[in-house]
Amino acid sequence: MLCLQVMQILVRCPAVCTSAGSPVGTSPSALRQFCSDAALSVDLQQAAIAADVLTRIVVHCYEECLPVEGADLMLALESLVIATGIPNGQNNIKPLRIALRCLVQLSTAQPDLYAQRTAAVVGAQMGAGGPRQAALLEALAALGALGAPALPHLLPALQHAREACKDPSYDGTTLVLICTVLLQERAGAALSRRINRSWELKIKDAIQGADGWTRYRVARACLRYGHHSLAADILKRLSEEAPSESAQRWLTALYRAAAADSKLLEEGISGLEEASAGWESFGDGGVSSGGSCS
């Protein structure tokens, strides 16, 4: 373990990474061979550190356009992610997070080779809850920014979170995170193609039984990623259920602003006048016309 930790420091040097990289068809360097073997260790902590060293080497070679083979590293990382999901009486979150970070780095360096495959591996592990699911969702969010399809893996997780809302002790954090990743993924997809909006119904259905604070956080994420119509629907209902007059004014103001933005997005310049009226009425919802809604 100490040897691998020393290697973690050594591979911060670009020259070490360059010399340790093994071009396709050649024998691996001693450092890389050692780490490749250690990355398949049954000791997940050791395997994670070895994979981290290998990732630094391979990513450096990709970034510098040096010939390198990354298939063995990808297999080791996939195995590590799967192995951390098998109960062994230990806390496997740290090696999982290391493996996920390595996968994201590898996918960022060569998205065409690894991003979609990584999304499939990460998405297949989404059945677990708690800290493990949160780590997997964070990785999916990073992969979504690279264009990897996350929707097929998020919808089943959304359904599980919907069922979890029936538990009075559920705080809604996982549901908000799933919705946030889904909103981010859909926003990215909308930049390159026209998307069906049926997924919005699934979010509405999932948060229907959640508490007001959870639904507000989802609405806030909708606004952040430009899904103004969905945000307006959620905020309108929240304003009708507001526990106090001040909360109602605030939620109504947000609803009016979101509805105005949605109108402008849907109708373009022809909807500018109506949208402007909505923005003006935003000030009547409890926020001064010159104020900020941050």
Does residue 108 lie in a domain region? Answer: yes
Nearest to 258 by CA among 289, 287, 233, 240: 233
pTM, 2 dp? 0.75
Question: Is 144 part of any domain?
Answer: no
DSSP, collapsed to helix, strand or coil, labels residue 193 as: coil
Instruction: Give the separation between CA 128 and CA 126, rounded to whole angstroms.
Output: 6
Q: Is residue 238 part of a domain?
A: no
Which residue range forms the structural domain that includes residue 40? 1-138
Q: What is the pLDDT of residue 275?
A: 58
Question: What CA–CA distance (Å, rounded) separates 288 from 135?
Answer: 40
Q: Is residue 268 part of a domain?
A: no
Tens-place pLDDT, residues 133-189: 888 988 888 887 676 677 777 888 888 888 888 888 888 888 998 899 889 888 887
Q: Is residue 41 part of a domain?
A: yes
72, 122 Cβ separation under 8 angstroms: no
The per-residue pLDDT for range 100-125, each reduced to its tens digit, is: 999 999 999 999 899 889 988 988 88
In a domain? residue 188: no
The answer to whether residues 241 and 208 touch, using CB atoms and an 8 Å cutoff, is no
The count of domains in the chain is: 1
Tell me whether residue 21 is in a domain. yes
Confidence at residue 74, expressed as pLDDT on a 0 to 100 scale? 94
**pLDDT score for 61:** 92
pLDDT at 4 over 60: yes
Least confident segment among 106-120, 185-199, 241-255, 259-273: 259-273
Place 7 in a pLDDT band, splitting at 50, 70 and 90. confident
Residue 103 · residue 81 · CB < 8 Å: yes
Q: Which of 23-32, 137-146, 169-178, 254-263 has the lowest mean pLDDT?
A: 23-32
In a domain, 259, yes or no: no
